[in-house]
Amino acid sequence: MRTVEPYDEYVDANGLRLHYLDWGSKNKQALILLHGFLGHAHVWDRIARAFKDRYHVMALDQRGHGQSGWSQKAAYTIDDHFSDIDTFLTTLELSKVILIGHSMGGRNALFYAACKPSSVGRLILVDARPDDTPQASQALKDLLVTFPLKASSLNQVTQALQGLYPYLSKQCCKHIARYGYKKEDDGTFIPRYDTRMSAQCERMNYATEGLWPYMPNIASPTLIVRGKESPFLSREVAQRMGKAIPIAIVREIGKATHMPAQENPVVFQRIVSEFLRNKL
C-alpha cells in the first residue's frame, strides 16, 4: 500500500511566503503543528499520519525554517511568529483549532492562545520552556553547537542528532536531516534554517523572555507534555505551568528528552488521543 504523503502548500504572511504541509481531510477540525527551533514541518510526519484521518492536519514551516521565507531584517521574535500564525489561520479561515507546538513552536502556540483565546479549541505544549533557566539555556547552547553549519554528508547530521537525542531512532534522525539540510554545488550540506537566528541566541546568552503573565488568559483546555529526561523543561516548572493555565493537565513521557513526540511516538500519540477525546 502506498504511503500517503501531504501536499505542499503556501500562504503569504507579513511579506514572507510560508510553506506548510496539508495532510487532507479538510472537512474535519484543523490540527496545526508547530515545530521547534531549527526544525521543520516534516519533523511531525509520523504524528501527522497518526491523526490525519480524524483531523485536518497541517504542519507549518515557521519563518526562517524549512521551505518558508527568511526575514530580510532577521525578525524572529515571538511577536513576529504570532502575526504569522494569526495570518495563517485567518487566510485559511480556521477557527477553534487544535494547536500543538514543540519547544519554540510551543512557546509560540502558548503566546497565540493567550492573545487570541477564542481561536484555539485545544492547546498542546510539548517540552516548551516558559522562561529562562541556566539548565535550559545550556541545553539550547548544546543544541546549537551540535547542529553543523556545514556537513560533508547527511550521515554526519544524522550522527549529530543521534548524539543529541539518544532515544531517537536512526530512521527518524535521517528523516530530520533529509528535510533540514540542503546540498550545495560543492557537495556539502548546509541548514535550511536562517543561521542568523543562532547568532541572535548567542547574543541573548541563550536566554528567553518569560511567558508566565500570559498563561491565565488561556481559555482552551491545555495539555503540557515533557520528556522525562528533558533538560529544557523540568518537572517542577511543568507542574507550575499546569497550575498557572486555568484548564490544564501535565503528562510526562519516559524514554524521552527534548523531543518526546518523536522519541517515544507511541506513548505521545496515546496521551494526545486521550486528551483530545476527553472532556475537561
Cα–Cα distance measured from residue 97 to residue 101, given in angstroms and rounded to the nearest whole number? 12
pLDDT of residue 3: 59
pTM, rounded to two decimals:
0.97
Residues 6+ apart with CB under 8 A from 98: 29, 30, 31, 32, 55, 120, 121, 122, 123, 124, 276
- In this structure, which topology does domain 7-134+210-277 adopt according to CATH? Rossmann fold (3.40.50)
pLDDT of residue 177: 97
pLDDT of residue 120: 98
Q: What does the pLDDT look like over 122-148, one tens digit per residue?
A: 999 999 999 999 999 999 999 999 889
Q: What does the pLDDT look like over 77-98, one tens digit per residue?
A: 999 999 999 999 999 999 999 9
CB atoms within 10 A of CB 1: 3
Q: For each of the chain's 280 residues, which pLDDT tens digit applies?
A: 345 789 999 999 999 999 999 999 889 999 999 999 999 999 999 999 999 999 999 999 999 999 999 999 999 999 999 999 999 999 999 999 999 999 999 999 999 999 999 999 999 999 999 999 999 999 999 999 988 999 999 999 999 999 999 999 999 999 999 999 999 999 999 999 999 999 999 999 999 999 999 999 999 999 999 999 999 999 999 999 999 999 999 999 999 999 999 999 999 999 999 999 997 7
pLDDT of residue 279: 77
SS3 of the chain: the string is CCCCCCEEEEEEECCEEEEEEECCCCCCCEEEEECCCCCCHHHHHHHHHHHCCCCEEEEECCCCCCCCCCCCCCCCCHHHHHHHHHHHHHHCCCCCEEEEEECHHHHHHHHHHHHCHHHEEEEEEECCCCCCCHHHHHHHHHHHHHCCCCECCHHHHHHHHHHHCCCCCHHHHHHHHHHHEEECCCCCEEECCCCHHHHHHHHCCCCCCCCHHHHHHCCCCEEEEEECCCCCCCHHHHHHHHHHCCCEEEEEECCCCCCHHHHCHHHHHHHHHHHHHCCC
Q: What does the pLDDT look like over 96-115, one tens digit per residue?
A: 999 999 999 999 999 999 99
